[in-house]
Amino acid sequence: MIIILTSKSIGNNDKGTLTTSSTKKRRDGRDFDELRPLKIEAGVLERADGSAYLEIGDNKVLAAVYGPRELHVRRLLKPNMAILRCRYNMAPFSVEDRKRPGPDRRSVEISKLTAEALNPAVFLEKFPRSTIDVFIEVLQAEGGTRCAGITAASVALADAGIPMRDMVAACAAGKSDGQVIMDLSEWEDKEGEADLPIAMMPRTGDITLLQMDGHLTSDEFEQALDLAIKGCQIIGEEQKNAIKNRYGD
């Protein structure tokens, strides 16, 4: 198992491309366009076909992929392609107040949108009448777990040897304390004005997930989207490094 760490280089950027009203430091000392420390490791589980472990800030996420494998639920079977099923689950100990175990409204929603975010990237037509199952377990949560989950799931899919058009990277942007910022922490998400998580394929630039809650003016939205895309591009590079590191390159 090889571990890669990046955090230093992310902060250095040309501030001329993006204009913000102020450049004050954030609560955790980050710049407005700085990611939390990111670590991705591929192939951590022995029994799954593919797996990945991801840490971003204090988030800890584990993703496992099984398949393509035989599908026994006949009504879900598609004769011309595989289906992609996702399950996002938070461990009871992942949050401050113990979460009741089992699926809830939120995790059902995130499971669905994770599957939809990954779907366009996978060549499902190569495995007709089968299923690919993705399991995402959040071990520790600190804001932005859906993005962390999608990023980890994509690395696990590649590790399982499933053909894909591109990796899928996800990153959030938003507005907190009157400032448009990249990669919101839990505090910034709760106390902030807006949250905009996106998932995209870094090579093609296709956005496969875009959600927003809170209020942003159209100018702020453009800024936030640019920041989120930039975040995805950095995360995409890290995903590639994680896979290459697994094979000692």
Partner 1 sequence: MLLVEDKQIVVPGEILAEGDYHSGRGTFKEEEKVCSSLVGLVAVRDKKISVIPLQSKYIPKRGDVVIGEITDIRFSMWNLDINSPYSGILPAAEVFGKEKRELNRAFDVGDVLFLRVVDVDEVKKVKLGLKGRGLGKFRGGILIHITPTKVPRLIGKKGSMINMIKDQTRCEVVVGQNGIVWVKGKPEMERVVQKVVKTIEEEAHTSGLTDRIRDMLMELLEEGTEKTETEETSKKEEEDFKEELIQ
Q: Which residues bind partner 1 (CB under 8 A)?
A: 49-50, 67-70, 79, 82, 121, 123, 127-130, 158-161, 163-167, 201-204, 239-240, 243-244, 247, 249
- As given in the structure block, the two tokens for residue 109 are 């929603």
Q: At which residue do the structure tokens 């990669």 appear? A: 183
For partner 1, the closer CB: 67 or 192 = 67
Cβ proximity to partner 1, 86 vs 155, nearer residue: 155
What are the DSSP calls for 56-111, one per residue?
ETTEEEEEEEEEEEE---TTT--TTS-EEEEEEEE-GGGSSSPPPSS--HHHHHHH
Amino acid (1-letter code) at residue 72: H
CA separation (Å) from 17 to 183, 221, 226, 239? 18, 15, 10, 25
**Distance in angstroms (rounded) separating the CA atoms of residues 214 and 196:** 9
- Residue 71 or 172 having the CB closest to partner 1: 71
Question: At its nearest, how many Å lie between partner 1 and the CB of residue 227?
Answer: 22
Residue 220 or 238 having the CB closest to partner 1: 238
Taking the complex as a whole, how short is the minimal distance between the CB of residue 238 and partner 1, in angstroms?
Answer: 12
Residue recorded with tokens 């797996």: 51
Residue of 217, 233, 216, 148 whose CA lies nearest to 185: 148
Rank residues 151 and 223 by Cβ distance to partner 1 and give the closer one: 151
